[in-house]
Every structure is written in C-alpha cells, then in structure tokens.
Structure 1
Amino acid sequence: MGLNKPNQLSITRRLRHQSQSQRFPLVNKWTIDFSSERTLADQASPDNLPASKRLPQSPLITHPQPGPVKIRKNRPTRNDTSELEKNPWAVALASPVRMCSVTGARIPRDLLGEWGLVRKPDTENHYLLPVGLMKDALKPRSKAEANGPEEVRADLPSTDEATQESTIVNAVRQEKPGQQLLLRMINSQPLLQALSKPLSRNSGKRPAIAKILPFRWKHPLGPITSRVEKQLLWRPDMADYVLRQRQQAVINSLDKVQRRHPRLDLPEGAWKVLDVHEPSVTAISEALGRLGPLERMASGVILLLSPLGGSAPTAETLYSPTTESEVPLFDLPALLTPSDLAKLRATEPGYFHGDAVFFRPDNRVDVEAVLALWNLQRYAAGVNS
C-alpha cells in the first residue's frame, strides 16, 4: 500500500502537467518565427481580409496626385479660323447669342436687327427706326457735304416723306457715338406687320410703343422719362420701310464688294460668271458644274439676275455636281426693285451683265454682303430668323 501512493501521486502530477502544457505550450525560438510567418501569410490571403479592404478603391487613393490638374484644349491657330472667317453661315451662327426685345427669343446677334430712337428735328418727338440698316446713311459727313444739297431717294412716294427722311438722317448724324440707345429685334416681316397698327396709336396717357422698350432705358435707370414716352412715334408703314432699308443695304454691300474685286479675269477671284444658255434651274446647275472644283466652293452662293422660266417659285438652294451639296440661291429680280437691279447691271466690272453669277466670299466685306442677302431673303419670305 505504501508503494502505491507515490505512484498515484506521480500519475496525478503527470496528468496535471500535461494538461497545463496543452493549455500553455512551451515553444522555442524557431517555433515562434515559423508561426509568425504563417500567421502573416494567413492574414494576407484574400479570404481572411475584411470586406472593406477587399472592395475596389478609388484612383484618388491608389494614385494620389500632388494637386488639381485641369486639362485645357489648345487654342485655335490662325490656320484653323481663317477658313471659318470666310464662311458666312459659320460667322452668323458663331456670333454671340442675344435676346429679341419683343418676342424674347434668343438667337445669334447677326440674325437680329438693331433699333434705336431718332429725334425728329425741331420737335421733341422720337422715332424708333432700324438704325442698324442705316449705317451708311448715318455716317458723319464733312462740312462740304453738309452744306451741299440733300440727296432725295427716288423710292420715296412723296416729297413730304423725302423731307422727313432727310431730316431724320441729319438728326442722327449730329449725335455723338455712344449716346444712342439700341435694342435688338427679330428679323420678321409678319411681326412688324402685326405691330404696326397697335404701336402707331398714340391714344391714352402712355403710348403702346413704350411697352417694348427695355427696362434699362426708362427712368430712373435710363434717360427716358414719362414725358419722353408720350413723344415716341412708330411709322404705320414700318414693314415696308424696313424692307426698303434691307434692299438698300444689299445694294450698298454689293457696291463695296465690287470695289474690292475690280477685276473679273482672275482665275481665283471671288466672282465667276456662269455660262447659262437659258434661265432655268437645270441650266444653272450644269453651268455651276462646268466651273470645276474651286477652293472653298461650299461657302459660295449663286446670284440669279434673270427671272426663271415658268410660274414655279424660285428655290432657295441649287444642287452643285462638283461638291455634291446644295448651294444657296438668291433671286435678285424677286428680292430687289427693277431700279436697283438696273443699277447693278450698270456697274463697270460686268459681274451682273449675265443671267447668273457665282460669288465666293474672301473677306469680311464679302461675308457681310452675303449675310445682307440672306437677311433680305428671310425677311421677304416671312420667315422668323
């Protein structure tokens, strides 16, 4: 019995030691190193990473940059803009967008008309007129021209209207630059026809024409007081008056163009007289094809000088076999008066002696002439543009 007790005690101690060794295993230096490497490898595996670290990260975090970088487009060179500057349609559409004071429509500035107040001489009344179409007539004159006789245009029906026209022009010439108030109005003949009757009435304390004036013109922001509003006038025949002014603007523009291109025999000139056998759309299209390929041919226009045969209305475009596209066509006998057309045919370079001519703008003056033709055509057709 005495021998069994120590054996039982040793067995108990051995079991206790084994249990404690299992709970707190003794590891050596090598075991610690290997276990640490194994633990790091387990943590680096995608399955053991948390969900927040397994999600894709933003490039702003993975590839940080020192500061904000703004990518700017290169500015156009002179070669890039030279071709567009000679294209009338690109010039008109690229002009700044402005608002029509009557309709509120926002369209490019070159498709709007400029209007301003013009004082009637010896009175305190003011007319609202399209001063943008009267730039040549409103230029300051020299003393010799001012003392000379006034030129009365033949298109005015009576002497009273001619006198009134000349006095209005003289009044505007005396105004200093920057003193004239300007508003913009859409180029529409039906709009002016609808406005002429109500705006020409002066009954009541406040005339109807004062309603279309911009707010910045009126007191206290502008110089127009309630007393000046009562003295504003509107021509009853404003639609016909603007049509005549647009026709005169076309004549003046074409006259400037002819002075810049005095020679007709230049191979790369702006003017090309079309050899038309008969005034028809087919004949003009064939004559245009015989010109062959020209530089910037798509920017050119056709000026029709003789009325087309038949009763069908003249088309606004004509097919060009060379460029395989439509070319704008301006029917001058339908747009201008017979006296204006005879004046163009009497010019010396001979551009308007035939039935049709092809015109390709080469500078800013040529572009303005084409835009004047385009505005006249849209105005005569009754299209809001």
Structure 2
Amino acid sequence: MSKRLQIALVGAGLIGRAHLLRIEASPDCALAAICDPTEAAKAIAAERSVRWFPSQREMLAAMKPDGAIIATPNALHVPGAIDCLEAGVPVLVEKPLAESVAAAQKLVDAQARSGVAVLAGHHRRHNPIVKAARRIVGEGGIGRLVAVNALFLIKKPDDYFDVAWRREPGGGPVLINLIHDIDNLRFICGEIDSVQAITSNATRGFAVEDTAALIFRFSNGALGTATVSDVTPSPWSWELSSGENKAYPQREGHCYLIAGSEGSLALPKLDFWHYQDKAGWWEPLQHESRGVEPIEPLAEQLRHFCAVIRGSEEPLTGAADAARTLAVVEAVAEAARTGATVTPAPLRVPSGTGAA
C-alpha cells in the first residue's frame, strides 16, 4: 500500500473540523499540521500531537506537506491557496472558491503559473446520486434536455438570525445556499448562459431576502427555474431529501426535476419516467428507479484529493470550473438587484494549463 499522504489543514472551524474527522478516518492520508491562529485550533493540534502554526505561510516556511485543505473564511481562500501553490503544494479549497469572481481569477491564474493541482470543494459532485444523474443526462438517457426545476425550500430556525450578518444583504439563501444547487445544475445539465431573478423579504422583513425565484437559460437550449426560500417547512431541498448530511432529518421529497424529450428524472431518488412504446399524454407512463448505493461525499472527496495529489486522477472540479459556478451566483445577485437578464461574467482560462 502507498505511504499515507501528509495533509495540512488550514482553518479549523466548523467545516475544517469536518475535514479533520475524514482525514483521521482515511486510509490514504494523515494529518500533518493545523494552521489557524485561534487558541481552539492550537488545542486541537495539541490533542493530536501534530504541529500547529498561526498561518499557512509559517507552516510552509517550516515544512512541505503533500497537500493542504483550505477551510478558512471565504476571503482567505485565495491568498491561502496561492501561498500553497507557490510552494508546490496541491490544495483542496472549500467552496465558494473565493469571495468574488475577480478573486477567483487570481487563483485560476496562479494555478496556471504553478501547474500545481487545485481541487474545489464542491463535495456534492462526489455524491453517486449526482454522478448518476450527470451520466444519464450526458449519455442521452432522457433524450434532449428540455427543462429543469430546482427547489431549495427549507425553514431556518429563528435563532439562526441572532448573528447580525445573516440579516443583511449577502447573508441570505441566494448567496449562502444556492451556490450548491447551481453547481449541481451546471455539473448535471451543462453551462448556464443567462439568468433572471426576483427576490422578496416579505416574510421576515429583514434587509436580506428570504425568498427568490430564478430563471436560467442553459447553453444547450434548455430552460430552468429555481425556487428558493428559507422560511417554509418543506421536504423539498437537497438537504432534507438526499440524506447526505445526517445533521438534517431526511424526509421524502424531490429537489430537482429534469425533463427531456424522451423521459424525465427526479432527484434525489433518481426516479425515471418514460413511455414504453407509443408516446403521448393519453398513454401510461412507465416508472423505473435508478437509485444508487450511497457514499459519504466528503470522504469520497478526500479519497479523490489524495488521488489527485498522486497524479492518478484529474480534479473533478478545477479552479476555473468552480469560478464559473461563482460567476452564475454573482449574475443571480445582479439580476435580482437590477431586474435585468444577466450573463455570467466570462473567465480567462490560460490555454494548455489544465486549469479548466
């Protein structure tokens, strides 16, 4: 068996500790160091008898791990990742890749200069449900893609908003939650060329939106909609219907409906609907379940990151790919603010670098 890779954890907050648990359970890697200026992080490192550093720069001056996971606040993702790339250390960067497309472009450029691998932490792409849906749609299993409907309808508890920034613009479901669903839709259905959006704060009355309705146009000609709200008791979200995160009580419900010219697909159960022979609304629809065996996505993402470090697999989500998801999210915010149809900002991807 190959030697276990030494992975540094940069940022030991909530998501950082989730990565830490997967590292400790992994047969592929081990924890090399924790980089985080807090006393809590220093204590976590001491408990595990691993080296602690206030920052990745101090860590890189003292050692060179095989890889690093960047799980810091969003605005620190790009500088932390660039420090590692310049030292020749591959990175797994938590989503969103950056706080803005402009910042993400800096990381895309740095990856191109260094040639060192970047894996973006859109962990839902590692879920076998999402991979199966991408395969079915990509192989023409539902014919030509026609329309897509995505739902994120959930109720956040009142005390969630005791944190002031969650009541202000930028702290709502469009920028905080929708990025996951947009990335899933891009991965399954293809690139998004334009967006329209309208938001409302009528239920809670905070400055931030609590509900939004969106329209997408995909590059392949399909149309899509997304309905987003964090004020309603509902099973219609990836969080509650997929069972992916055990912190959420799983409930029966669909979150993505994907319609094609020859059939349709409902996620997360991968229910497949089609006509057997003659097609038309008078005819009986046939139903099949395309369900798959579950895999814990964060653990699978870590296994994949180790394979990327070793050079046996290419990053499932590279820096430029994750930046395109961020560009769609920014376009949604602009469309909601202006009422216009908005095209996601273009990304400059250096040719021949593998950055796409």
Q: TM-score range by the shorter chain?
A: under 0.3
Q: Which has the higher contact order (CA 8 A, sep 6+)?
A: 2
Name the one with the larger strand percent: 2
Q: Considering only CA atoms, is the larger Rg found in Structure 1 or Structure 2?
A: 1
> Scaled by the length of structure 1, what TM-score is found?
0.23
Name the one with the larger helix percent: 1
> Scaled by the length of structure 2, what TM-score is found?
0.24
